[in-house]
A and B are shown apart, each in its own frame.
Chain A
Amino acid sequence: MIQGIFRNRELIAQLVKRDFVVRYRQSYLGYVWALLPQLVTVGIFGVLSSHRVFDMGDTPVPYVVYALWNVSVWQLFSNCIVSCTSSLSAAGSLVTKVNFSKEALVVASLGMPIFDFLIRLVPISIVFIWYEAVPTPGFILVPLVLCLLVLMAAGVGFYCSLINLVLRDIGNLVSMIMTFGIFSAPILYPPPSAFPFSLVNDLNPISPAIKAMQDLLWRGAVTEPVSLFVVALLSVLFFLSGLKFFQVALPRITERA
């Protein structure tokens, strides 16, 4: 099942290259667009926070550092899902007229969000240095947790991309959930501890991963390894079940697309 994806690595590389070239071919500002949305979001919340419009609670590092990192991670996750969801419907007649491993389209659509994230690491590093929020050695494990998030996004993406071919509501639904989902995880504020609000965080499968990365960056050790393990398990499960669903349902969906 997974071999199929590996066998198509050259195709995936070509598709990523296509997305990359196409995106920057008719653009002057280019990479700026990868940075701007997250800088603006953080800027707004930074201003609101510093003027005490609402209380962000205690963050382990200066708020701007905290928010910038988390928003970038969230955007990696949400952009991966959104991009996967539209990957098949954006491919047009390629899906209905050419027989090849369509998984490649979904996997390749992860390319741009990951690339954007890597670009964003530049301003993130600058802000980290500026605020002297030097990460602990645990940050070496952060990429692993990021991989889990991408894996989960791809798993969800396998389901959504197929369904979006016949039911375009999914695309809109996913973008909406991703826009508001940012408030359901400890991204712009520290995790709440009071009961009804803490529930949202506890049930959200993304929260433990976000929290684990914060721990690794600034505390040096994961404080809730069990929930992180559950997230890891979920990610693998989502990915494998998504891939299986994708392969079984594809012919039925293609007929109707």
Chain B
Amino acid sequence: MKTLVKFDGVSKRYCRTIKTSMKYGVKDIFLDLLGRNDTSILRADEFWGVDSVSFEVARGECLGVIGANGAGKSTLLKLLSGLYAPDKGSIQTLGSIGALLEVGAGFHPLLTGKENIYLNGSILGMSEKQIRQKFDKIVQFSGLEDYLDMPVKNYSSGMYVRLGFAVASQINPEILVVDEALAVGDVSFRARCLNYFKEYLQAERGCLVFVSHNRHDIHRVADRVLYLEQGVASLYDSAGEALNYHDQRMLEKNQQAISSASSFELRSLNFAQEAVSVGSDFSVIVEFETARQFDDLQVGYMIQTAEGVMLLADSHTFAKTVAGRYTVTLSWENIAWAGGTYWFGLFVWANNRTENLLSAANLKCFSVSDPHLDTLKRDGLLVNPAVVDVQETPRI
């Protein structure tokens, strides 16, 4: 397969303060004009926004880019699309680049949808004749047939995205760069976009570099994943592996401070198994101490996905408990939860749920690995494959 994008040790400097940034900017322009600018060293107040990133993307391949806010994802895409010049390293691209960094950039609010199709198309490099030929396809893809004569200032953000993506999809670039653009589209449109990506990749019309915070989108489209953390990239051959690592890192930062009543203290919470995978057992060991007697103590537990979707929530009521230390073990056998990262949450109530002793929805996170995640392209909350029985039906 032919390599279409090649990043070789690409770095980009950023400056912390606006004043110094302006000063350096003037210097840089002056030195650029003279053609003798050494950009490979950091000056005072500067840091690498993107630091020595190397990767290749071949035709028919999709690279997903993930990372926390400010990790350098957008900078990477701007470097790729040619908006920024790298300060160090080199970027080689083969073929035309179609970048969708902000949907609707270039739309004029007073112009109608139809007029904006022509305007945006020509900004993206299409001739008027080409746009005219593809106009019907663009409209069909956007699904906005009824709103074409309306000024786009009255469009919803989702409609903006639809129109923007519909135009961009028709320029047939060999390197398609998409930044988090689809997040505001509705379910049907996102499905349409993902289908478009798949078709585009399968037909080997080019390669796709795709930034998303949505793990399902990444998982469905990306062949490999680039995980960025403070400008430094790590490349994963498996989307699932990268997503798990990423989620765990992200969630650990969000660990909740535990608020509990004075008569109740959570001493520790541990997972019994070091590694959990689909089909294995999973146990949580909770140690707590009570300072007085409770007539009924209710322990609620819940497991949420990284996106906050409730996987399960249940509770157990203890009979009369005297003051003292307790160890409670919650066990699941042969778990069927899909590979991914989860939050474990714990709640404790007393007196028929009138007194809350502990409340922590995001108490600790854990990952479930699924060795078949990438090969089978599994998705969803549960790993619950159907029993498949195939029999040839005789023709009569």
Are A256 and B115 touching (Cβ within 8 A)?
A: no
Partner of A251, one of B85, B101, B110, B118: B85
Are B22 and A166 touching (Cβ within 8 A)?
A: yes
Measured CA separation A127–B119 after assembly (Å): 39
A-B pairs with beta carbons under 8 Å apart, 30 shown = A10-B122, A10-B128, A11-B122, A14-B128, A18-B108, A18-B111, A22-B108, A26-B110, A92-B105, A94-B105, A97-B83, A98-B83, A98-B99, A98-B101, A98-B102, A98-B106, A99-B81, A99-B82, A100-B123, A100-B124, A166-B22, A167-B22, A245-B29, A245-B33, A248-B32, A249-B32, A251-B84, A252-B29, A253-B25, A254-B83
Are B123 and A98 touching (Cβ within 8 A)?
A: yes
Are A14 and B119 touching (Cβ within 8 A)?
A: yes
Are A254 and B84 touching (Cβ within 8 A)?
A: yes
Are B33 and A255 touching (Cβ within 8 A)?
A: no
Measured CA separation A253–B32 after assembly (Å): 12
Give, as a whole number of angstroms, the nearest-CB distance from B87 to chain A.
10
Question: Given contacts A11-B122, A22-B108, A97-B101, are A255 and B128 in contact (CB under 8 A)?
Answer: no
CB under 8 Å from chain B, chain A span 80-123: 91-94, 96-100
Measured CA separation A99–B28 after assembly (Å): 21
B140 partner residues in chain A, CB cutoff 8 A: none
A245 partner residues in chain B, CB cutoff 8 A: 29, 33
Greatest chain A CB density within 10 A among B21, B84, B123 is at B123
CB-nearest residue of chain A to B83: A99
Give, as a whole number of angstroms, the nearest-CB distance from A47 to chain B.
38
Measured CA separation A248–B26 after assembly (Å): 12
A10 partner residues in chain B, CB cutoff 8 A: 122, 127-128
Measured CA separation A94–B108 after assembly (Å): 11
Are B21 and A256 touching (Cβ within 8 A)?
A: yes
Question: Given contacts A26-B110, A99-B99, are A18 and B119 in contact (CB under 8 A)?
Answer: yes
B110 partner residues in chain A, CB cutoff 8 A: 21-22, 25-26
Give, as a whole number of angstroms, the nearest-CB distance from A101 to chain B.
9
Residue B97, interface by CB 8 Å: yes
Measured CA separation A196–B102 after assembly (Å): 55
Are B105 and A98 touching (Cβ within 8 A)?
A: yes
**Interface residues in A, total, Cβ within 8 A:** 30
Measured CA separation A21–B112 after assembly (Å): 10
User: 0/1 per residue, B12-29, Cβ < 8 Å to A?
Assistant: 000000000110010011
CB under 8 Å from chain A, chain B span 104-141: 105-106, 108, 110-111, 115, 118-119, 122-125, 127-128
CB-nearest residue of chain A to B80: A99
Are A166 and B25 touching (Cβ within 8 A)?
A: yes
Sample of 18 further A-B pairs with CB below 8 A, known A244-B33, A249-B29:
A10-B127, A14-B122, A21-B110, A94-B106, A96-B83, A97-B102, A98-B83, A98-B99, A98-B105, A98-B123, A99-B99, A100-B125, A245-B29, A248-B33, A249-B32, A251-B85, A254-B84, A255-B25
Which 8 A-B pairs have CB atoms at the shortest separation, nearest pair first? A97-B102, A14-B122, A93-B105, A97-B105, A251-B85, A97-B101, A249-B29, A99-B82
Are B33 and A256 touching (Cβ within 8 A)?
A: no
CB under 8 Å from chain A, chain B span 88-110: 97, 99, 101-102, 105-106, 108, 110
Are A252 and B122 touching (Cβ within 8 A)?
A: no
A244 partner residues in chain B, CB cutoff 8 A: 33
User: 0/1 per residue, B22-46, Cβ < 8 Å to A?
Assistant: 1001001100110000000000000
CB-nearest residue of chain A to B99: A99
A21 partner residues in chain B, CB cutoff 8 A: 110-111, 115
Give, as a whole number of angstroms, the nearest-CB distance from B21 to chain A.
6
Measured CA separation A255–B24 after assembly (Å): 12
A166 partner residues in chain B, CB cutoff 8 A: 22, 25
Greatest chain A CB density within 10 A among B22, B97, B102, B106 is at B106
User: 0/1 per residue, A109-144, Cβ < 8 Å to B?
Assistant: 000000000000000000000000000000000000
Measured CA separation A22–B107 after assembly (Å): 12
Give, as a whole number of angstroms, the nearest-CB distance from A38 to chain B.
26
Measured CA separation A14–B117 after assembly (Å): 11
B101 partner residues in chain A, CB cutoff 8 A: 97-98
Measured CA separation A244–B35 after assembly (Å): 13
Give, as a whole number of angstroms, the nearest-CB distance from A200 to chain B.
31
Give, as a whole number of angstroms, the nearest-CB distance from B167 to chain A.
12
A26 partner residues in chain B, CB cutoff 8 A: 110
B119 partner residues in chain A, CB cutoff 8 A: 14-15, 18
Give, as a whole number of angstroms, the nearest-CB distance from A4 to chain B.
13
CB-nearest residue of chain B to A249: B29
User: 0/1 per residue, B138-162, Cβ < 8 Å to A?
Assistant: 0000000000000000000000000
B105 partner residues in chain A, CB cutoff 8 A: 92-94, 97-98
Give, as a whole number of angstroms, the nearest-CB distance from A254 to chain B.
6
